[in-house]
Amino acid sequence: MTRPGLYGLMAEFSDPTEVVAAARKVHEAGYRKIDAFSPYPLEALTEALGLHHSRLPLLVLLGGVTGLVAGYGLEYWASVIEYPMNIGGKPFHSWPAFIPPAFETTILFAALTAVLGMLALNGLPEPYHPVFNVPTFALATKDRFFICIEASDPKFDPDRTWSFLLSLGPRVVSEVEQ
């Protein structure tokens, strides 16, 4: 079976059309522990890999609601319960005046959730990853596209997966060291 130390096999493409077609074939062939790499966001590539949903929007909604409740709650607690002050005869619970800060905390919490949530869902920061061992992988941030099938995939077989990847017409297929 797979030799230890092998993370997976990586195929390199130079064209977005080719990589999307190849990614679709990889997914259709039943491989699931797969990933593709592109120098810019390619919606079609994400779809070809069978990825549809991101949990991020729900998290951001929850973050925003938390910000709203926290912001308004702080204002209410500070102005009505903890430190009630008569200012210009306005009611302690001056709800119209409480809207701007509560709005800002809603945005702040939602935006923080969007950024931290994106990093967390992506597992970043991640200083080391086996794909960086492929010598030409530096071009993934310039003009090359890559598809990687991991050795831990149940369908993975060093020889058959190798020839399968070759049949997709890549520039080159290389082994990814752990």
Residues 102-131 close enough to bind another protein by CB under 8 A: 103-105, 107-108, 110-112, 114-115, 117-119, 121-122, 124-129, 131
Part in contact with another protein (CB under 8 A); list of ranges 2-10, 80-88, 151-159, 165-173: 80-88
Minimum gap (Å) between residue 158 Cβ and another protein: 23
* 8 Å CB contact between 149 and 161: yes
Would you say 45 or 173 has its CB closer to another protein? Answer: 45
Does residue number 58 form part of the binding site for another protein (CB under 8 A)? Answer: no
Q: CA-to-CA distance for 149 and 167, rounded, in angstroms?
A: 14
Binding residue count for another protein, defined by CB under 8 A: 71
Q: Show contacts with another protein in window 29-48 (CB under 8 A).
A: 35-46
Q: Show contacts with another protein in window 137-166 (CB under 8 A).
A: 137-143
Would you say 100 or 169 has its CB closer to another protein? Answer: 100
* 8 Å CB contact between 63 and 109: yes
* E-only strand ranges, the chain: 6-13, 34-37, 145-150, 172-177
Could you tell me which residues are beta bridge partners of residue 13? 145
Q: CA-to-CA distance for 107 and 67, rounded, in angstroms?
A: 7
DSSP SS3 for 94: coil
Does residue number 25 form part of the binding site for another protein (CB under 8 A)? Answer: no
Minimum gap (Å) between residue 154 Cβ and another protein: 19
Torsion of CA 116, 43, 129, 55, to 10 degrees: 40
What letter represents residue 19's amino acid? Answer: V
Would you say 87 or 157 has its CB closer to another protein? Answer: 87
Q: Which of 5, 28, 57, 167 binds another protein (CB under 8 A)?
A: 57
